[in-house]
Homo-oligomer: A and B are copies of this chain.
Amino acid sequence: MSLAHSLICGCLMRESTEDTARFLEYPGIGLVEWRLDALHGIHTRNGLDEALAGLSLPGRHPVIATVRPERFRGGFRGTEEARIRALERTVRAGAEWIDLEDDLPEDVLSPFRDSAARVVISHHDFDGTPASDPLKHRVEHLATLGAHVLKIATYARTVEDNLRVLELIPFARKQFGAETIAFCMGPTGRWSRLACLLMGSPWTYVRFPELPASAPGQFTVAQMQTLLEIVGAG
């Protein structure tokens, strides 16, 4: 089972737009999640426009635009309306993907579903990992929201937590035909960020070595490249 570097998604968490091009064109990865909520300028129209100019770079990777709100430990401090408007502008600026939280109402989701960008519906649980049934019900709910990819990330307290979350990947595909990224955050969940690819997730999130992690337990780009080369060597 060969594991290509295209399965690697670098997380761009940066306060300034300096060097944006370098990360959007980073070698040996497949796509970039741009955590726009980390940008100082995100809260002003010009600040966001200046950043989104990066999306017109010809040789860049596909971008997942994310503006994570404070309720999911993100950096966006504006109103929810302002956040949604920012997300809309990232789609107009050419982001191929957009990450939307699973607690958003249908009237917010549906225009994005019909937009040019593909949708990742994401659920994060930073406190722990529920039992198997609530996790499966969560997947069932996410699968009704019409996303192209589901993302579930919970915090691992025990080693078993990883297995219940990894199980969601084949479960979602079989039950709902849904492509799913499911892994555990934190040191005890770190290895599931590799295992999720082997279970069938379309990509895994990694840290650019020069930048902070966007969630606990992330590997660097180079570490994940090495892991994929070894484990995929068959």
Contacts and interface: CB of A to CB of B under 8 A. Distances in A.
Contacts of A160: 167, 170
Contact of A230 (B158, B159, B227): B227
A89 interface: no
Given A167-B160, A231-B227, A191 B194 contact: yes
A163 interface: yes
Of A162, A187, A191, most B-chain CB atoms within 10 Å = A191
Contacts of A58: none
Contacts of A167: 160, 163
A3 to B, nearest CB: 10
A182 to B, nearest CB: 12
Given A1-B187, A187-B1, A226-B226, A198 B159 contact: yes
A167 B159 CA distance: 9
Contact of A163 (B163, B219, B234): B163
A101 B70 CA distance: 56
A60 to B, nearest CB: 27
A7 to B, nearest CB: 13
A177 to B, nearest CB: 16
Interface string A163-190: 1001101100000000000000001101
Given A1-B188, A191-B195, A219-B230, 16 more contacts: A1-B187, A158-B170, A159-B198, A159-B200, A160-B170, A162-B198, A163-B163, A163-B166, A163-B167, A187-B234, A190-B234, A194-B231, A195-B195, A226-B226, A226-B230, A227-B231
